[in-house]
Amino acid sequence: MNQNHSVVMWRAREKFVEGLLALPGAIFIIFFWVASLIILLIFSFFKDVPGGGFMPAFTFENYIKIFTDPFYLTILCRTLVIAIVATIVALITSYPVAYKLARINPRKADFFLVLIIIPFLTATIFRVFGLVYALGNYGVVNSFLSYIGVGRVKLIWNWTGVIIGFLNTLLPYAILSLYSCITQIDKSLEEAAYTLGANKLRTTWHVILPLIRSGIGSGAIFVFVIVMGTFEVPSLLGRMKSGIVASVLIQQQIAFIHYPMASALSFVLLIIVAGGVTSFMKILGGRIKL
């Protein structure tokens, strides 16, 4: 009985220590994320003052504007379409790379993975600026194309530029999440499919893809979330008119100082992202992991 009691005490103390250790991180998250989200929510009901500034109020004006004003509606739709297209393109292009990496000698794969991760060490904005020079009308790519006689192609300040820009940002995420799934699949499953009469394509379709459904799901979530939040790409590589919510947000907040409108937009974006993530999880059974 006595011994039992001391075990209970010991367990309780252990739990207390565990909680204590989690505290700094928890405080950080509550203070910087939850609290700021609440402030953001409050702000979104405030009123904008024409010419800059805002005043406290409780009005749904901003939300109503977002869902009725064609300007904001177009941006919302455009954001969703771009995010979905970029996600699909990123996943399709990264699959062959991820597969190859998963099936080569692990030591070689590590080398290539490091190459894929290194660009993360620079800020997105620098990489996107780099792309402006690479893809511009007199950039490296176009110079090469005209040299070999293909002629100049417009690769920037249009949708092509936006998609290329997003791929540049997103491929590493997509490759890494697919790679970690494919390495879990025993090679003998593929080999079994071959011996049963399946070629490479049908093996991929019937065996590998169903088995990495959750990986595709988590890859999709990552990519989708990042697209929704990356303002640099459409701002620098798209036309002025091809802004998405994130870039308009920056505009509203920094250029026009429309905090209440920006806050409302942020919340709508947040809800769209949450909805997107949930539906990806529903469809593909993915869980958030890398």
Partner 1 sequence: MANVEVRNVYKTFDSVEAVKNLSFHVKTGEFFSLLGTSGCGKTTTLRIITGLEQQDRGEVLIDGKEITSIPIHKRDIGFVFQNYALFPHMTVKENIEFGLKMKKISKNSFDSKVRDILALVGLEGYEDRMPKQLSGGEQQRVALCRTLVLSPKVLLLDEPLSNLDAKLRKKMRIELKDIQRKIEVTTIYVTHDQEEALSMSDKITVMNRGQGIQIGTPYEIYEKPASRFVADFMGQVNLYKGRIVQKIGSEVTIVSDQTPDIKVLLTLEEERDYTEGKQFLFLIRKEGIEVLDKEIKGRTDVDSFIARVQAVIYLGSHSECICTFEGKKGQITFRLPASLRSLELLRTGDKVMLGWRPSNVALIGKEGEKYESES
Question: Do the beta carbons of residue 181 and residue 214 sit within 8 Å?
Answer: yes
Nearer to partner 1, 86 or 182 (CB): 182
**Minimum CB separation from partner 1 for residue 21, in Å?**
37
Question: Do the beta carbons of residue 279 and residue 110 sit within 8 Å?
Answer: no
- Answer yes or no whether residue 201 interacts with partner 1 by CB under 8 A: no
- Answer yes or no whether residue 104 interacts with partner 1 by CB under 8 A: no
**Minimum CB separation from partner 1 for residue 204, in Å?**
13
Nearer to partner 1, 85 or 198 (CB): 198
Pick from 181, 193, 245, 265 the residue near partner 1 by CB under 8 A: 193
Pick from 77, 117, 196, 254 the residue near partner 1 by CB under 8 A: 196
| Cα separation, 144 vs 76, whole angstroms | 37
Amino acid in the structure at residue 106: P
Pick from 24, 70, 149, 210 the residue near partner 1 by CB under 8 A: 210
Q: What is the dihedral of CA 195, 200, 201, 205, to 10 degrees?
A: 60
Pick from 202, 239, 282, 287 the residue near partner 1 by CB under 8 A: 202
Q: Lay out the site mask for partner 1 across 139-178 (x = CB under 8 A, - = otherwise).
A: ----------------------------------------
Task: Find the part of the chain contacting partner 1 (CB under 8 A) among 20-28, 73-81, 197-205, 237-245.
Answer: 197-205
| Cα separation, 253 vs 258, whole angstroms | 5
Nearer to partner 1, 180 or 214 (CB): 214
Number of shown-chain residues binding partner 1 (CB under 8 A): 17
- Answer yes or no whether residue 257 interacts with partner 1 by CB under 8 A: no
- Answer yes or no whether residue 111 interacts with partner 1 by CB under 8 A: no
285-289 long-range Cβ contacts below 8 angstroms, 24+ apart? 285/213, 285/214, 285/217, 286/213, 286/214, 286/215, 286/216, 286/217, 286/218, 286/219, 286/220, 286/221, 287/214, 287/217, 287/218, 288/218, 288/221, 289/177, 289/218
- Answer yes or no whether residue 211 interacts with partner 1 by CB under 8 A: yes
As beta bridge partners, residue 55 has 47
As to burial, measured by CB atoms within 10 angstroms (0-12 exposed, 13-18 middle, 19+ buried), residue 35 is exposed
- Give the CA angle between residues 71, 84, 169 to the nearest 5°: 100
- Answer yes or no whether residue 283 interacts with partner 1 by CB under 8 A: no
- Answer yes or no whether residue 102 interacts with partner 1 by CB under 8 A: no
Task: Find the part of the chain contacting partner 1 (CB under 8 A) among 12-20, 39-47, 56-64, 187-195.
Answer: 187-195
Residue 195, CA distances (Å) to 31, 185, 187 in order: 58, 17, 13
As to burial, measured by CB atoms within 10 angstroms (0-12 exposed, 13-18 middle, 19+ buried), residue 161 is buried
**Minimum CB separation from partner 1 for residue 205, in Å?**
11
Which residues here bind partner 1, judged by CB under 8 A?
186, 188-189, 191-199, 202, 206-207, 210-211
